[in-house]
């Protein structure tokens, strides 16, 4: 990366890519949850800008401890088993929908699940809202990227999540957005 990039926000966390053992983050309270302090500052700026444009956004989820992430993962498996899947099917389905602890971007404090004010869960239909449209046009200006874009599961390892935004800093977010690539592709190109 170059001098405009803030490399501390470019860590790749996901399947088989756990958070760095030496990761130190300073969390800040924001909208009833927590985010890494710079991500929180920029998210607040983004939400205020959206509001000026008549768009109301809601932060549904931010930082999650690894222990809480384990609960989320286990609950997803249980719900799928309860709906009739075998344990193996439920586990496989959960693994493309929910990250394991220490492999979740939420454990970094840099991930934000953003929804409409009326939503109390995440839904793919979020992509059909004015909130999503606004985020698609503006999130990169505040350092956030749509982390798991449509049609990129083979690259990211996770399903399309129109609500899941990741803070990478404004410089890198705009470069990723302008090139319509994933964080994986961006980091891969940087290593070449």
Residues involved in catalysis: 161
- Contacts of residue 64, Cβ cutoff 8 Å, sequence gap at least 6: 72, 104, 106, 107
Checking DSSP bridges between strand 33-36 and strand 111-115, what pairing results, if any? unpaired
Q: What are phi and psi of 137, to 5 degrees?
A: -80, -25
Place of tokens 């926000």: 9
- Return the exposure string of 51-65: e unless at least 16 CB atoms fall within 10 Å of the residue's CB, then b: eeeebebbbbbbbbe
Beta strands in the chain (DSSP E): 27-30, 33-36, 58-61, 111-115, 144-148, 161-167
Token readout for 86 is: 């075998």
């Amino acid at each position: 990366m170059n001098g405009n990039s803030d490399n501390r926000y470019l860590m790749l966390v996901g399947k088989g890519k756990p958070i760095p053992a030496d990761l130190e983050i300073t969390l800040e309270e924001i909208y009833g949850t927590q985010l890494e302090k710079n991500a929180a500052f920029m998210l607040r700026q983004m939400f205020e800008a959206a509001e000026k444009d008549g768009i109301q956004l809601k932060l549904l989820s931010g930082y999650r401890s690894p222990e809480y992430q384990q609960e989320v993962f286990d609950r997803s498996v249980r719900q799928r088993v309860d709906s009739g899947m075998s344990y193996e099917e439920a586990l496989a389905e959960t693994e493309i929908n929910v990250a394991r602890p220490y492999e979740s971007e939420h454990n970094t404090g840099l991930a934000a699940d953003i929804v409409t004010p009326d939503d109390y869960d995440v839904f793919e239909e979020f992509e059909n809202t004015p909130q999503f449209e606004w985020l698609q046009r503006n999130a990169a200006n505040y350092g956030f990227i749509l982390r798991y874009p449509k049609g990129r599961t083979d690259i990211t390892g996770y399903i399309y999540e129109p609500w899941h935004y990741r803070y990478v800093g404004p410089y890198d977010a705009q470069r990723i957005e302008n090139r319509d690539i994933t964080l994986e592709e961006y980091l891969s190109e940087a290593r070449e």
